[in-house]
Structure 1
Amino acid sequence: MTKRELVVAQGKREKVLKLKKLRVKRRNVLILAVAMFIANVAFGMAFPYLSVYMKVLGASMFMVGLLSVAFNLTSTVFQYPFGWLSDSTGNRKGFIAFGVASIGIFYTAMAFVSSPSGVLILRTLQGIFGSAMTPAHSALISELSTRAGSIFGLFNSIENAGFMVGNFLGSVIVSYLGIRKLFVLSSFLLFISAGIVLFIREHPAGRRPFLGIILVREGRESWRATVKSSAFKRLMRGYLGLFYVTVFLVMVASGQFYSVSSVYFRETFGEWSVGVIFGIESLAAALTGYFLGKLIDRHGAKRFYLIAIAGYGLAFLLYAFVKNVWLVFGVAFLSGLKWVMTINSTSAYVAQNVKASERAQGMGLLNAMMSLGWVVGPLLGGYLSGISFTLNFVSTLVPLGLAFVLALRLPG
């Protein structure tokens, strides 16, 4: 074979290999999309009824608040170590499947407990083991396309659509079968989702040894798993560290509002309005997520992140002062837009600014900052709402304003 023929043959092999990789990526996108849609149907069914279940079992409002704090606190602690493990092993689908199945196991267990403390313990464990899913899920999505904004927008639309379907299904199931059976059915869907994820084909990068991890032992003072020689210090330095601080501040404001919003909506507009308002938020996110993602790719993540922060402030102010339920439906649509814009822009910003070998850790740290904000925010929201809902909602402008000013300093 002549040199020219060898070059042509090599070119054909490379073309075939590229087409094969493209087919695998498209197949993986489809599998993950189906799995995450089903998982979010389950989340949408079960999540809204956790606090209701606690009240049915006789919990105080303080314990209902602890349900959110405990879950988000454990998620904050464990997401980064799970992200590190995912990067270290090159395994994404295994951690996603483990996290989704773990959430299902604890929902099943909740159906059989008879005390609020039992639900609280199970929700805490759910936060620990379920956090294995999030960083690997975000990292895998970022690896499915070079257009981070578009791919995150697509999945946010799919997942919000699933959550919305779950909301409506959950209300019907509770009416006919009760909350306990709702949790069991949600678990069944989560197990199906975990099984589907395992059909994803991935090519793990070189595995790194597990030297440097200090595992938590009984009686140790700190609950944190310490990771030596990791990317944590690099991710928290410079403008990336500043970015993560702004995410934390935005989520403090989010936690202030959403930890008490159900009670506010019920007292202001009636019990029927709660599901409708949250459903409209999910609908807005599902309809616009993909298109906003494409715009983020075109115009930059920082610009849309700033718009999203401003959207939070506007939405919370309108929720505080608009007393007509039909106008509040419009506010809910705006609120859904700012949420999906936040998720798309922050995920795209991390994907574009963190190298691939540390991406799951970067995504894990992003999700950890969101969870940490939701630990602090509900504590503030519960206290301030005891004085006045309006005071609480208006006070969200303090962390949001600080986040906006700091975000202006981020490089585009």
Structure 2
Amino acid sequence: MKTKTNSAHFWLFLWGLGLAGQLCWNIENQWFNTFVYAKIAKDSTIVTLMVVTSALVTTFSTFLFGTLSDRIGSRRKFIAFGYIAWGIFTIVFGFTEFLNTGIVAMGAKSSIWIAFLVILIDNIMSFFGSMGNDSGFSAWSNDLTTNQNRGQVGAVLAFLPVIGTIIGTVAGGLLIGSDDNYNRLFWCMGIFVITAGILSLLFLKDSPTLLPHRNGTLWQQFTAVFRSKGLFTQKELLLVCVTTALFFISFNIYFVHMGNWMIYRMGFGADSMGLIQGIGLLLASLLVIPCIGLINRDKTPIITFAAIIINMAGLWILALFIRPENVDTQKLFSPQNLLLFFAIFLAGAGYILVVQSMTMWVKQLYPQESRGQFEGIRVLFFTLIPMIIGTVIGNIIIKNGAGSIVNEYGITENIPTESIYLWAALLLIFPMIPLLFGTKAYYKRVKEGASQKGSVHIPK
């Protein structure tokens, strides 16, 4: 079962599977965190452990299933079964709220076990989500990306997280509603992702150029990318990965806590929070369109530089000018909230353009015979390293900030404050350094006419 590049089949599944995956990731990255605060405990450590451990599981899963899909020369089954299991465990995650009848009533030891179960189910969900999306769908889309459609595919892959965030936050907030019914959201999303998996099993087709690639035993192939003659000899690829990791360290300091900041610090409801983020990101996503041509004309580094500056500007506004007394939580579209909308727009625009530019930059450097495995490299630098470092830094900031208070029951609650944006903005200086060297390598490669895919090779 094979499909052709740029066929209607390709674009339909690119959008459909991509949207289902991004919606599910949005729920995990945003609503799982507010779910913990609403149903389990207002403890940033639980959120941090969820993010860190799920990032570890995601990376391992991507390497494992990416290597397996390279060896058998197929992505379809990994996508289908991964999405089906992903949807099932999204629904299962919501059941954890019924185990928690109250932190005060159950005591500290029982609360620890509930937190452990929440983290465990989140990890299982991430394992299958990565199997279907990171190692399956991402490698499948890269198999069908050419020099002629690279800008368009890059635009779609940049749009998808934005659309996922917009729909996920707006629709998610409306589904949760004023009665905090998180299970309504988890059931709707889980069924949608399960449906996407079933349709993939029945109708998805692999690339006609995808062939099985075996490089020794499974373990030898699994570890090949980490050998001295693997990733670490690819200077440009390594610089791109380090740049992106440093950017997303900053991103993870604030993003995983942004929903709780808007709800518990600013005073917005879940539905209003979704609209604020959704509208800002919707407007920001329009910038993707002119960047399609720029990417196709080899202007990717310029887009990345501009994106980091734009993101930094948004974070500075959030850090210095947005306070509870400066916003109107009753009238969402009050003039008082214009600066908040603008800051979200800038931060979101920078994030979107980094995703668009860096995703396509790194993908064009993958070796043709190991695209599935190299999705693991992308997840390692785009997800694992930033999530571990960024969320740990964010947790330290929140734990030691003005938002950490002891409530009337003697329980410490950790409410994020604007300091998370201040530190995130300061750390955006660091990705500029490897980006400068990466830009030099990029234009050297373009000048030498060596931009064809598959030019990278991992020796046995």
Moved more, 60-69 or 278-287: 278-287
Q: 2:200 — aligned with what?
A: 197
Q: 2:217 — aligned with what?
A: 212
The change in CA–CA distance for 1:383 and 1:172 in structure 2 (over 3 A counts) is: same
Q: Normalization by structure 1: what TM-score?
A: 0.83
**Matched position secondary structure for 1:353:** coil
* 1:37 is the counterpart of 2:19: yes
The change in CA–CA distance for 1:65 and 1:145 in structure 2 (over 3 A counts) is: closer
* Aligned equivalents of 1:308, 1:53: Cα separation in 2: 31
Letter in structure 2 aligned against 1:200: L
Q: 2:31 — aligned with what?
A: 49
Asked whether the 8 Å contact 1:46–1:186 carries over to 2, the reply is no
* 1:245 is the counterpart of 2:228: no
Once the two structures are TM-superposed, the CA of residue 118 in structure 1 deviates from its matched residue by 1.8
The change in CA–CA distance for 1:205 and 1:140 in structure 2 (over 3 A counts) is: closer
The change in CA–CA distance for 1:212 and 1:309 in structure 2 (over 3 A counts) is: farther
Q: 2:191 — aligned with what?
A: 188
* Aligned equivalents of 1:55, 1:394: Cα separation in 2: 23
- Which runs of structure 2 are paired with 1:1-40 in the superposition (5 Å)? 21=4, 25-40=7-22
Asked whether the 8 Å contact 1:161–1:283 carries over to 2, the reply is yes
* 1:165 is the counterpart of 2:167: yes
Deviations 1:17-45 (A, max 9, x none): xxx9457x332221331233344445556
**Matched position secondary structure for 1:208:** coil
Moved more, 109-118 or 346-355: 109-118
Q: 2:82 — aligned with what?
A: 99
Q: 1:387 — aligned with what?
A: 401
Q: 2:437 — aligned with what?
A: 409
Asked whether the 8 Å contact 1:156–1:285 carries over to 2, the reply is no
Deviations 1:221-259 (A, max 9, x none): xxxx98243476522332322221221111111111213
* Aligned equivalents of 1:112, 1:395: Cα separation in 2: 35
* Aligned equivalents of 1:392, 1:171: Cα separation in 2: 23
**Matched position secondary structure for 2:431:** helix
* Aligned equivalents of 2:224, 2:396: Cα separation in 1: 40
Letter in structure 1 aligned against 2:136: A
The match for 1:235 among 231, 234, 244 is 231
* Aligned equivalents of 1:232, 1:338: Cα separation in 2: 34
Once the two structures are TM-superposed, the CA of residue 187 in structure 1 deviates from its matched residue by 1.0
**Matched position secondary structure for 2:430:** helix
Asked whether the 8 Å contact 1:247–1:369 carries over to 2, the reply is yes
Asked whether the 8 Å contact 1:312–1:338 carries over to 2, the reply is yes
Q: Which runs of 4+ in 1 moved over 6 A?
A: none
Q: 2:388 — aligned with what?
A: 375
Letter in structure 2 aligned against 1:201: K
The change in CA–CA distance for 1:59 and 1:213 in structure 2 (over 3 A counts) is: farther
Q: 2:313 — aligned with what?
A: 314
Q: 2:69 — aligned with what?
A: 86
Deviations 1:330-353 (A, max 9, x none): 111122211111111111111222
Asked whether the 8 Å contact 2:58–2:126 carries over to 1, the reply is yes
The change in CA–CA distance for 1:268 and 1:46 in structure 2 (over 3 A counts) is: closer
- List alignment gaps of at least 5 residues for structure 1: 1-19, 215-224
* Aligned equivalents of 1:232, 1:152: Cα separation in 2: 29
* Aligned equivalents of 2:209, 2:227: Cα separation in 1: 22
Deviations 1:256-296 (A, max 9, x none): 12133233334553223532332134313543334423322
Q: Which has the higher helix share?
A: 1
What is the count of residue pairs matched by the alignment? 382
Once the two structures are TM-superposed, the CA of residue 366 in structure 1 deviates from its matched residue by 1.5
**Matched position secondary structure for 1:376:** helix
* Aligned equivalents of 2:69, 2:280: Cα separation in 1: 32
* Aligned equivalents of 1:355, 1:85: Cα separation in 2: 16
Identical columns (%): 20
* Aligned equivalents of 2:151, 2:227: Cα separation in 1: 24
* Aligned equivalents of 1:239, 1:192: Cα separation in 2: 39
Q: 1:349 — aligned with what?
A: 361
Letter in structure 1 aligned against 2:217: G
Q: 1:11 — aligned with what?
A: none
C-alpha RMSD of the superposition: 2.8
Letter in structure 2 aligned against 1:187: G
- Which runs of structure 2 are paired with 1:236-275 in the superposition (5 Å)? 236-237=232-233, 238-266=235-263, 269-272=266-269, 273-275=272-274
Letter in structure 2 aligned against 1:243: V
- List alignment gaps of at least 5 residues for structure 2: 100-113, 327-336, 403-416, 443-460
The change in CA–CA distance for 1:258 and 1:334 in structure 2 (over 3 A counts) is: same
* Aligned equivalents of 2:33, 2:302: Cα separation in 1: 36
Asked whether the 8 Å contact 1:154–1:290 carries over to 2, the reply is no
